[in-house]
Amino acid sequence: MTVTDHYPTRVSEEASIVDRKEPVVRGSEGDGPLSRAQLDAFDRDGFLLLENVFTAGEVDDILSELARLAALDEVKADDRTITEPESDAVRSIFEVHRIHDRFAGLAGDERVAGAARQIVGSDVYVHQSRVNFKPGFRGKEFSWHSDFETWHAEDGMPAMRAVSASIALTDNHVFNGPLMIIPGSHRRFVACVGETPEDHYKASLKAQELGVPDDQSLARLVEEAGGEIATLTGKAGSVVLFDCNAMHGSNSNITPYPRSNVFLVYNSVENRLVEPFAAPKQRPSFIAAREFTPV
Amino acid sequence: MTVTDHYPTRVSEEASIVDRKEPVVRGSEGDGPLSRAQLDAFDRDGFLLLENVFTAGEVDDILSELARLAALDEVKADDRTITEPESDAVRSIFEVHRIHDRFAGLAGDERVAGAARQIVGSDVYVHQSRVNFKPGFRGKEFSWHSDFETWHAEDGMPAMRAVSASIALTDNHVFNGPLMIIPGSHRRFVACVGETPEDHYKASLKAQELGVPDDQSLARLVEEAGGEIATLTGKAGSVVLFDCNAMHGSNSNITPYPRSNVFLVYNSVENRLVEPFAAPKQRPSFIAAREFTPV
């Protein structure tokens, strides 16, 4: 089967911007938990903030399970656990929905999985899951990027038909390095320069340098957004849903307030992965699942 | 003349916090441009945000003067010009009120100098002036610090009787690394650990490592502030006045929006510098003036 590459990237010395080919929202009100207004906002902005989705009790329960996991020697030693560049602190645990039942349940929770189905307009499977810990005092910034650019180039995701859910486990303030998104950027695809080296993911999970758009393209996206950059603040228990191609990043965090979240990526079962479009080989399945069982 | 050191710092292996000895505000309403409510807010919080102090025309005028200065080879080569750690971009120009008449005028402007006099309750002189350019895309974070800790340890400023004015030349948004201050922290002095090496200022102006409070002390100051951290956003032309001992810092800036400001430090003429309290020798006078002529 030959799949046409609608989003060539990492193939030229010149950056370029092309329009999105696919619709953003395919489902309707009634297909899931989101209202028409919420679907419209997601369609327009490429993201949606939902407050008070999980209760304080649910968040506490998740946090204590995570503390337990992150302290286990077998988890620390696991390839799926990523540590901070300059210390041994756990930064992310991948495939957390397979490591522990609690997170399998979370991945199938109607409040997030149902919203994802409603947006992509089909059944979904978990393309990637992870927990992120962004420590206080020395939390590092994360450069602007479109997840789809990487998933397309390195994982062979054909089309923009995936949605991410970030479940806040700590309060996101304006000052502790919250997620920032350029509104409307999900409708534009920035082809990045450079060529993907083998096993690039090992370095890129610590600090992304390839697949990062150039300054000029970024400035243009912000200009097209009328100068706006959305800062996604919200209490623990809130959820941000965002399109796979939304341009996002975060500043550093020097405050004492850490930031933790559970990150779940739902891809349409009609958009399963093929061979990478711009990388010598597939990334490990804990980063890009190749089992397409619907949740 | 022997001056008692009320704020020992950099002398012990243990950090400690002591209370401020001096009053914060000494002047009254009528002594200057600030109202009673504004003086009270400064007294309580250690800072004050004044919107629309300078007009758009004044800001444009300052910006074009600065662009002209920053492009001059003699300014670039000047010891008083500081560049970014990882590039050659101009980050700060010190003693800018002596380099150019326009900035001498600004330093004497009643809207800022008058407010400073009113707060410290005496005539003031310029202890330090500089212009800061925090570039977009790759603006670095600045660790938490009390300016007074450095001015006391390295410059011999005896008491907390100085006030800083930061004049915004660009809009300060929540997302482009604005100044953050811990409210009420100006009433506490965090003694820092370590000993000042010779010519420490050359490194510290790029990335401060000494004179930086420990995590525990910072967490305590935030706790004492009821968990609050103030994020000083405001349009170009706004001014933040803050106490010399206010604990402040800023996160990185990955957005396309640069941040520039003129920074003026006014010290009371009754608080002139003596020998450094915790450093082998004085810093250069472009960083810590030893000419105490009132403005």
pLDDT score at A209: 65
All residues of chain B having their beta carbon less than 8 Å from the beta carbon of residue A252 are: 141, 251-252
Q: Give the mean model confidence (pLDDT) for residues B78-83.
A: 90
All residues of chain B having their beta carbon less than 8 Å from the beta carbon of residue A253 are: 251
pLDDT(A83) > 90:
no
Report CB contact under 8 Å: A175, B222. Answer: no
Report CB contact under 8 Å: A229, B253. Answer: no
Report CB contact under 8 Å: A254, B256. Answer: no
All residues of chain A having their beta carbon less than 8 Å from the beta carbon of residue B249 are: 254
Label residue A286 by pLDDT band (50, 70, 90): very high
Report CB contact under 8 Å: B256, A222. Answer: yes
Report the 3 state secondary structure along chain B: CCCCCCCCCCCCCCCEEEECCCCCCCCCCCCCCCCHHHHHHHHHHCEEEECCCCCHHHHHHHHHHHHHHHHCHHHHCCCCEEECCCCCCEEEEECHHHHCHHHHHHHCCHHHHHHHHHHHCCCEEEEEEEEEEECCCCECCEEEEEHHHHHHHHHCCCCCCEEEEEEECCCECCCCCCCEECCCHHHEEEECCCCCCCCHHHHHCCCCCCCCCCHHHHHHHHHHCCCCCEECCECCCCEEEEECCCEEEECCECCCCCEEEEEEEEEEHHHCCCCCCCCCCCCCCCCCCCCCCCC
DSSP A237: T
pLDDT score at B204: 65
Of A129, A132, A109, the closest CA to residue A63 belongs to: A132
Domains delineated in chain A: 16-268 (2.60.120.620)
Model confidence over B22-43: pLDDT tens digits? 999 999 999 999 999 999 999 9
Model confidence over A180-201: pLDDT tens digits? 999 999 999 999 987 777 777 7
User: Using CB atoms, which residue from B137, B251, B256 is nearest to A177?
Assistant: B251
DSSP A24: S
pLDDT(A206) > 60:
no
Of A223, A177, A246, A140, the closest CA to residue B177 belongs to: A177
Mutation choice for A interface testing from B87, B144, B170, B175 by most A CBs within 10 A = B175
ipTM of the complex: 0.89
Report CB contact under 8 Å: B251, A137. Answer: no
Report CB contact under 8 Å: A175, B180. Answer: yes
What separation, in Å, do the N-terminal and C-terminal C-alpha atoms of chain B show? 26
Q: Name the burial class of residue B101, with classes exposed (0-12), middle (13-18) and buried (19+) by CB atoms within 10 angstroms of its CB.
A: exposed
B189 strand-pairing partners = B18
Q: Contact at 8 Å (CB) between A41 and A26?
A: no
Model confidence over B163-203: pLDDT tens digits? 999 999 999 999 999 999 999 999 999 999 877 777 777 66
Q: From chain B, which residues contact A within 8 Å (Cβ)? A: 136-137, 141-144, 173-175, 177, 180, 215, 218-219, 222, 229, 231, 249-256
Model confidence over A22-80: pLDDT tens digits? 999 999 999 999 999 999 999 999 999 999 999 999 999 999 999 898 888 898 889 99
Distance of CA A58 to the CA centre of its chain: 22
pLDDT(A1) > 60:
no
pLDDT score at A129: 97
pLDDT(A93) > 60:
yes
Which chain A residue has its CA at the smallest distance from B220's CA?
A: A256
Element (H, E) at A173: none
pLDDT score at A70: 86
A-B Cβ pairs (cutoff 8 Å, strict): 64
Model confidence over B234-269: pLDDT tens digits? 999 999 999 999 999 999 999 999 999 999 999 999
All residues of chain A having their beta carbon less than 8 Å from the beta carbon of residue B218 are: 137, 256
All residues of chain B having their beta carbon less than 8 Å from the beta carbon of residue A177 are: 251
User: Using CB atoms, which residue from B141, B222, B256 is nearest to A218?
Assistant: B256
Q: Name the burial class of residue A115, with classes exposed (0-12), middle (13-18) and buried (19+) by CB atoms within 10 angstroms of its CB.
A: buried
